């Protein structure tokens, strides 16, 4: 079953009763809303005047619902997840922490190959030249010592948004960077949720190692999935509408990322489901059961 994503952009009082999320609005005339907690995968809290009870937080965490809070710039800034995400968590974390350097370099090679291949396929879908990306995907070595990820990314974004004047991929850059930032933040939460559910530490990466980053592994594993955010943002840009501000309508579109259709290992499924299969395959690599991570194929 596809889990629902709820977005709260207005003041609200959130509580629980009979295994339901109960929503009450301060404004007069709005009826109480009840939603089954078991149906929820993600709850995004944006408005600073939202009140949520501890009883509801407890039930959401027990349901493995990711609770995402936003900062004053309306961007996701935190993620609430359970302390225990898997019954074999301790053993799984031990395998992750004991992973050898050659294994991690090989896993990073697979990750970047999949990412660049997906970028190439996206350009082809948009009837753009992808010859360089196709070649670079085949040239990635263990640990990506040639830094093909950065080289490919610069070329990819320049080609993808060639009609957007002065565009370059930069977190603080001109639109549609704002849309990409928001979409990637949602994707990061999806990845972290899947990693925790698979019994791993999202802070211990295979490539990213920033000591100030609590989501290094999530940032690693989400790389080949970024393409789905890129595709959605490209479609929003092509509509010709105003994208300078992150309106509620734009956020609603970007919050559909977890439910996007993804082809993984020959099977179609929602992105959030595919991500769980990817993180489970990652654990099997850490435990020695497999040598290959399952990543999506964009088409």
In the predicted structure, residue 211 carries a pLDDT above the cut 70 = yes
- Flag whether 165 is marked binding: no
- Contact by Cβ (8 Å): 174, 245: no
**136-175: pLDDT as tens digits:** 999 999 999 999 999 999 999 999 999 999 999 998 999 9
- List the domain boundaries for the chain: 4-80, 89-287
pLDDT at 28: 65
Collapsed DSSP state (helix, strand, coil) of residue 32: coil
**35-78: pLDDT as tens digits:** 999 999 999 999 999 999 999 999 999 999 999 999 988 888 88
Tell me the CATH architecture of domain 89-287: Up-down Bundle (1.20)
- Flag whether 223 is marked binding: yes
Q: Would you mind telling me the total number of residues written for the chain in this entry? A: 299
The pLDDT-based confidence of 1 (bands split at 50, 70, 90) is low
In the predicted structure, residue 260 carries a pLDDT above the cut 80 = yes
| Farthest CA pair distance, the chain | 62
- CATH for the 4-80 domain, from 3.10.580.10, 3.40.50.2300, 3.100.10.20, 3.30.230.10: 3.100.10.20
In the predicted structure, residue 29 carries a pLDDT above the cut 80 = no
Nearest to 58 by CA among 90, 15, 89: 15
H/E element, 16: strand 13-17
The mean pLDDT value of the chain amounts to 95
- Contact by Cβ (8 Å): 199, 168: no
In the predicted structure, residue 106 carries a pLDDT above the cut 90 = yes
Question: Model's pTM, two decimal places?
Answer: 0.92
Identify the burial level of 254 via C-beta atoms within 10 angstroms of its C-beta, where 0-12 means exposed, 13-18 middle and 19 or more buried: buried
- Flag whether 208 is marked binding: yes
Identify the burial level of 297 via C-beta atoms within 10 angstroms of its C-beta, where 0-12 means exposed, 13-18 middle and 19 or more buried: middle
């Amino acid at each position: 079953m596809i889990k629902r994503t709820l977005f709260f952009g207005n003041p609200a009082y959130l509580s629980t009763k009979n295994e339901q999320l109960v929503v009450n609005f301060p404004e007069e005339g709005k009826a109480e809303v009840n939603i089954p907690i078991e149906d929820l995968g993600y709850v995004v809290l944006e408005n600073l005047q939202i009140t949520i009870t501890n009883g509801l937080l407890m039930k959401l965490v027990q349901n493995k619902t990711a609770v995402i809070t936003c900062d004053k710039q309306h961007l996701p800034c935190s993620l609430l997840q359970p302390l225990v995400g898997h019954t074999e968590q301790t053993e799984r974390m031990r395998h992750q922490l004991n992973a050898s350097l050659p294994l991690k370099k090989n896993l990073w090679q697979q990750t970047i190959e999949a990412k660049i291949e997906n970028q190439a396929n996206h350009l082809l879908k948009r009837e753009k030249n992808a010859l360089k990306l196709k070649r670079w995907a085949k040239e990635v070595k263990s640990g990506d010592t040639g830094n093909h990820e950065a080289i490919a990314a610069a070329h990819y974004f320049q080609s993808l948004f060639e009609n957007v004047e002065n565009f370059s991929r930069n977190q603080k850059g001109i639109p549609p960077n704002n849309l990409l930032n928001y979409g990637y933040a949602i994707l990061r939460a999806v990845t972290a949720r899947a990693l925790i559910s698979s019994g791993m530490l999202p802070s211990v990466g295979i490539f990213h190692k920033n000591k100030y980053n609590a989501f290094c592994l999530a940032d690693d594993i989400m790389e080949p999935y970024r393409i789905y955010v890129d595709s959605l943002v490209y479609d929003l840009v092509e509509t010709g509408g105003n994208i300078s501000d992150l309106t509620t309508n734009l956020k609603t579109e970007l919050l559909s990322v977890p439910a996007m259709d993804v082809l993984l290992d020959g099977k179609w499924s929602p992105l959030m489901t595919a991500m769980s299969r990817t993180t489970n395959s990652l654990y099997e690599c850490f435990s020695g059961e497999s040598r290959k991570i399952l990543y999506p194929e964009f088409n």
